[in-house]
Amino acid sequence: MLLPLLPVVFIALAMHGGQTLGWFPARWPILDMDRAVLTYQAEVARMPNSAEVLLLGDSSCLTGLSVPDLEKNLGLKALSLATLSYVDLQAHGMMLSRWIEANPGKLRTVILLMHPEALRREEPSAFHQRFLEGLLTSQPLPKPEGFRGRWERMMGLDVFRDRILARILPFPLPSQYGPRYGFTVDLCRRLWEGQGSLADPNLYDRDSASGNAEYRLAKVLERASAGFRAQAPAQVRWVIGLTPSPASFVQPDHPARHRALLTTWAQWLKADVTLTNLPAILPDVLFASTTHLNATGRDLFTRLLARELGAHSDESASHPRQGL
């Protein structure tokens, strides 16, 4: 009756042995949408690339603009390493420093775009934060806590899932991402085509929207901003902006609040350019959720962003170091 346990032990040993001896392919844990985005962007952050403009930010940056379109408008090579609001500025900073290590001397501009929702987050999601850090530093990835986590590590289940299973078994994406992008592997392909950007295929439903729109800056953001700023060489130009919210979701004073948040954050970050003319609100029909634009909204926001960046580029024409 207990004989079947022997092969289980053998497979577990083979998993650990194979990992130690480097028999298995590299980690590629694209087991769901969040992990696919983080894994892909962490991989790209360590690859050589010719981009001179780098976009960083949360998922509103990931889905809020089209990098190929922005590139056409700017006439400069651009790339987005935007991820999720679940990770903090420290993790974004690690992405940036990995990219600079892999692409020394290329970076001219960093554009940091976040939604106000992400700025009030006091703590990142421990799992996502450790997951991204683990990928960027080649450290073990987080596993479930307690007995289950220990058991999974002991049995080598994580080795199998992260190195083999995710490569042979595509994982379907949730909600409208499924019909639009299909599976995690297809999402990575679309991220490649979009140079790190995606469109959110969902449609904003005002009636089912939840959450509150009393946006503020988290206390931890001031110190994190200084640390983040230190990740890039001094000659790199820092541009920051906030992504918009649906008009019906926010409070009447949102535009003023939006501007105040942006100005304060720009001071903390010592930004070279603050994109104060980007819209704080847009009509609901341009949104996929309270923080994400839909494809139409994304096209509009990309044009507005390009125009803003172009305007600042013209302003700084007399300062060649700061030109986009």
Partner 1 sequence: MLFNSNVFLQFFAAFILLFFLVRRSLTARNWLIVAGSYLFYGWWDYRFLSLLFLSSLLDFWVGLRLEGTVSESRRRIWLMASLTGNLGMLGFFKYYGFFAESLAALMEGWGMRISPMALNIVLPVGISFYTFQTLSYTLDVYRRQLKPTRNLVSFLAYVSFFPQLVAGPIERASHLLPQMEQTRVITRAMLEEGLWLVLWGMFKKVVVADNLAPLVDLAYRPGESTGPVVLLGTVAFGLQIYGDFSGYSDIARGLALMFGFDIMVNFNLPYLATNIRDFWHRWHISLSTWLRDYLYRPLGGNRRGPGRTGINLLATMLLGGLWHGASWHFVVWGAWHGLGLLICRVWIQRRESRLRDPFPHGIAGNPQRPGFHAPGLAFENTEKEGRFPNRLKTIFSWVLTMIFVFYGWLLFRAGSMSEVASLTLAFGDWRCPDWLWSYAMRLAVVALPLVLMQIWQARTADLLAPMRWSVWTRSILEGVLLWAILVFWEQESTAFIYFQF
CA distance 187 to 62: 12
Decide if 114 contacts 61 (C-beta within 8 A): yes
Backbone dihedral angles phi then psi of residue 297, each to the nearest 5 degrees: -60, -35
For residue 4, the minimal CB distance to partner 1 (Å) is 4
Nearer to partner 1, 102 or 185 (CB): 185
Q: Across the strands, what pairs with 240?
A: 112, 274
For residue 267, the minimal CB distance to partner 1 (Å) is 44
Nearer to partner 1, 168 or 234 (CB): 168
User: Angle, nearest 10°, between helix axes 5-20 and 146-155?
Assistant: 80
Write out the H or E segment, with its range, that includes residue 223.
helix 220-229
Of 65, 81, 96, 107, give the one whose Cα is nearest residue 308.
65
Nearer to partner 1, 182 or 323 (CB): 182
Nearer to partner 1, 176 or 264 (CB): 176
For residue 126, the minimal CB distance to partner 1 (Å) is 17
Which residues are at the interface with partner 1 (CB under 8 A)? 1, 3-8, 10-12, 144, 148, 155, 157, 160-161, 165, 168-172, 178-179, 181-183, 185-186
Q: DSSP characters for 28-84? A: ----SHHHHHHHHHHHHHTS----SEEEEESHHHHHH--HHHHHHHHTS-EEE----
Structure tokens, 231: 């990740």
- Largest Cα–Cα separation, the chain: 81
For residue 161, the minimal CB distance to partner 1 (Å) is 7
Nearer to partner 1, 12 or 209 (CB): 12
Structure tokens, 10: 């053998």
For residue 145, the minimal CB distance to partner 1 (Å) is 11
Nearer to partner 1, 68 or 227 (CB): 68
For residue 30, the minimal CB distance to partner 1 (Å) is 11
